Structure 1
Amino acid sequence: MPPEQYAETVMKATAFACLYFTDEHDNPLQLRAVYSRIHPWQLAGGTMDPGERPWETALRECREETGIVFDGPAKLLASVFGQPGREWPYATIGFVFEGGRLTSGQIRSLTLDPAEHDEARVLPMPEWQKLMPRRDFARLEAVVEARRTGTAAFFDSWDWEDQ
């Protein structure tokens, strides 16, 4: 079978990459999306552009969404996979990289893109659990645990169904 014909038979997926930041007390930083009722709170990051590699995406999206120009090393905390569903017709593959700890001054100086996010919050995990869909919170827990243990997480149940 020719490669282009075979390519039509395989799974289609979109990919994202993001950076995981916390405050100095290890409380996660997330941004509230103005465009997504399904995933309202998100890490600084976004969808990969054609020709872009995951680390490049994480850096570009972080800069566009927060104004942070991150120059740390590429340290993978988690990979994410989700099956397609009613809300999105493709599988989703994601990469969550370590962003480090931000000072309160750095957090206050974030510059959000109002077309994408209208608020940045840093909260303890129990507070995030109240604000997030079950699977989104489980993904955040996996990222927190990956940072704590130093072992990258594989989170493969971030499906589009039953969010």
Structure 2
Amino acid sequence: MSSAWLPPGQYIETIARATSYACLYFTDSRGRPVQLRATRSAEAWQWPGGNMDPGETPWQCALRECLEETGIVFGGEPKLLGSHFIGHQGEAWPANHIGFIFDGGTLTDEQIGSIVLDPAEHTQVRVQTVAEWEAVMTPRTFARLREIDAARRDGVVRYMEA
């Protein structure tokens, strides 16, 4: 291993690549998670969010994606519930994937009912208990839901690897 200084463009070629996403975790007034059914994902249930655009911070991404995917203009402060790391998956996804999950707070029944989905991305809004979610989610995505819900309840930020 060389300790010689490299110009940034050359140095970047020597380190792991990563993409990143950010999202907001909402519950209803009874504490039940609110999720959206994705149109293009094997892991169909997810929170409003998506991949970061160039120059965008995780928080800016979460706000933008929430607005695009639900019509909700979130006005709260950034409160991180967890971060999520998915390692390089070969040709299926040739980079690490890093996520930031923020607390979106509580939505009223009226707010949930007024969600406007982008039909190219999501087909349904669903509100269920954590136990009910386990039956319809993959084990991997349910583990993330369980940890983020616990972080919301106990105030301890979670770090998760997949």
TM-score (norm 1): 0.93
Residue 91 of structure 1 aligns with an amino acid whose one-letter code is N
CA distance in 1, matches of 2:35, 2:107: 12
Please point out which of 155, 159, 162 is paired with 1:154: 159
Per-residue deviation at 1:111? 0.3
Per-residue deviation at 1:50? 0.3
Which residue of structure 2 aligns with residue 161 of structure 1?
A: none
Please point out which of 34, 50, 56 is paired with 1:46: 50
Which residue of structure 1 aligns with residue 3 of structure 2?
A: none
Which residue of structure 1 aligns with residue 88 of structure 2?
A: 84
CA distance in 2, matches of 1:34, 1:18: 17
CA distance in 1, matches of 2:46, 2:124: 11
Which residue of structure 2 aligns with residue 130 of structure 1?
A: 135
Q: Which runs of 5+ in 2 are unaligned?
A: 1-5
Q: Which runs of 5+ in 1 are unaligned?
A: 159-163
Which residue of structure 2 aligns with residue 116 of structure 1?
A: 121
Which residue of structure 1 aligns with residue 103 of structure 2?
A: 98
The ranges of structure 1 where at least 4 consecutive aligned residues each deviate by more than 4 angstroms after the TM superposition are none
After superposition, give the CA deviation of every residue in 1:101-126 in whole Å (9 maximum; x if it has no partner): 11111111100000100111011111
Could you tell me the percent identity over the aligned residues? 53
- Root-mean-square deviation (Å): 0.9
TM-score (norm 2): 0.93
The answer to whether 1:145 aligns with 2:150 is yes
Which structure has the bigger radius of gyration? 2
Residue 85 of structure 1 aligns with an amino acid whose one-letter code is Q
